Amino acid sequence: MELQSAHLPTSTKKRRHEEETEQKERPRLTKKALKKHDRKKSRSQPRRLNDDNPPSHGSSLERFARGGGPDLRDLRGYPEPSSKNSPSAKPGQRRPSITPLKQQRARASAAETMGTQARAPSQSSSTASTESTMSLSLLLERANVRRPIFDRKPVNVQDWMGAIRKDPCPLGSDAAISAAHRQFLWALQKSSLKEEVMVNVFPAIRGGLRYLAAVSRISPNLADLSDDDKLIIPKPDYMEGCEMFHANMRLCAVLSPYIVTANVEEAPFAPNFFTKILGNLDSLEAAEKQARYDGALGARGIHMMLNLEKATEVFDGKAYTVTFIYYAGFLRMYLHFIVPTGDPKYPRCYQTAVVSSWAMEDLEGFRDGVTAYRNAQDIAHALREEIVRQTIVTVDQMSDEEYQALVNEAEQLKLKGRRGRTNSFDGEEATTM
């Protein structure tokens, strides 16, 4: 053998030597070697998150997935929670990096969770608003406060229409109107909530403060519209009325439940100009009901002054009270007047007439709407000042006995109306002043 290998070529000897060396270094596939190989391979494979969950959790996970939520069993890029079955991370070992796509998904999930939590209070607020709207609807029906009508107008509707159009340029020159309109459009784009509209948009319509006004002031002093109902304390977004002077103190004492909104000096009395402001998400139907309610109370106050010391109640069919509703760039005007019903229990029917509306995103509509609004302020102011002046004369001509009897009657009516009044229309607690 050795002799035979000695006669082999050198290349053959070298190749045979390499084969023998490789065979010696190759590991033998024993049972122990195979187990060691399997252990190394099992460590290198990543473990799934749901391996830590016992089989009993499968039904709950399936129920959770059927509920519309995300299936978190295959969530990638999330650090695996520590447990008894999973080895702790080695010191210095880096966690897998989160890609921008995973970061975006995580932020979206967090935003959705925060949005759900933020929407929870609004649902309860919406429920309270719905209940208040239903209560107001019932009150309006029982007190004969009718829906807005287009075919039935007050006797003096033409006087109103002519007066609100008398001054075509309350804003000044064409350049000033264009600048005001651009400012209005900018504020309109930046305002969606009611409070933002009140601060940013409404001043462009109203202009400067010329008459005594109140913003979101509750009026707890007014009497009920009917004997059956407890008054929902009104809280107009904006109203204008007369100032309290020493000369009209006797008048306010006699007709306090009808014309005095609150027993504070800065509160306007005998208001007959109202404005309802809406945000982009507010209900126009609910706002119209509030406008009818505010307007009916204002019209009743004027009506009581006109009929003071008269033997029989007189209905002239004229409108002395006006309300505007602003909603998402639109302005609508309503007139309120009272007609007789023939029913002794409910002698008055409170009517609301739609006069006109303006789309104020257009330059011409903006000019006409602002003109109508500011001229209506002047008309309402002139009407209430004249009626108050005439009523003061009537009160001053009363005897002391007649005056004291009317004051006592007013106090009894106020005391009766205060019982059970705890809530204003918008759901906020109101106190009687």
pLDDT digits (tens, 9 = 90+) for 315-340: 999 999 999 999 999 999 999 999 99
Question: How many Å apart are CA 425 and CA 418, to the nearest integer?
Answer: 15
How is the chain split among helix, strand and coil, in percent rounded to 5? 50, 15, 35
Q: How many CA atoms lie within 13 A of 50 on its CB side?
A: 13
Picking from 234, 243, 214, the residue whose alpha carbon sits closest to that of residue 298 is 234
Question: How many Å apart are CA 320 and CA 72, to the nearest integer?
Answer: 66
pLDDT digits (tens, 9 = 90+) for 409-418: 988 887 765 5
Among 6-15, 173-182, 185-194, 304-313, whose mean pLDDT is lowest?
6-15
pTM here?
0.66
C-beta separation of 301 from 272 below 8 A: yes
pLDDT digits (tens, 9 = 90+) for 359-381: 999 999 999 999 999 999 999 99
Cβ neighbours, 10 Å, residue 339? 15
Exposure string of 320-332, with b = 16+ CB inside 10 Å and e = fewer, is: bbbbbbbbbbbbb
DSSP-derived 3-state class of residue 414: helix
Picking from 273, 326, 276, the residue whose alpha carbon sits closest to that of residue 297 is 273
Which segment, 69-73, 247-251, 411-415, is predicted with the most confidence on average?
Answer: 247-251
Q: How many CA atoms lie within 13 A of 277 on its CB side?
A: 23
Task: Please say if the pLDDT value at position 108 is more than 70.
Answer: no
The token pair that represents 14 in the structure block: 């070298």
Which amino acid is located at 275 in the chain? T
Ordered strands of the 321-327 beta sheet: 145-149, 348-359, 330-340, 321-327, 269-277, 238-242, 213-215
User: Which pLDDT score, from 0 to 100, does residue 422 have?
Assistant: 42
Given the structure tokens 């009517």, which residue do they identify?
351
The token pair that represents 132 in the structure block: 């208040």
**Burial class of 294 by CB neighbour count within 10 A (0 to 12, 13 to 18, 19+):** buried
Picking from 165, 198, 230, the residue whose alpha carbon sits closest to that of residue 374 is 165
Q: Would you kindly state where each structural domain of the chain is located, as residue ranges?
A: 120-418
Question: How many Å apart are CA 294 and CA 291, to the nearest integer?
Answer: 5
The token pair that represents 279 in the structure block: 């945000």
Which amino acid is located at 144 in the chain? N
pLDDT digits (tens, 9 = 90+) for 36-53: 777 776 665 555 555 555
C-beta separation of 291 from 332 below 8 A: no
Q: Alpha helix locations (H) across 255-362?
A: 256-259, 284-306
Q: What angle do CA 348, 332, 144 make, to 5 degrees?
A: 15
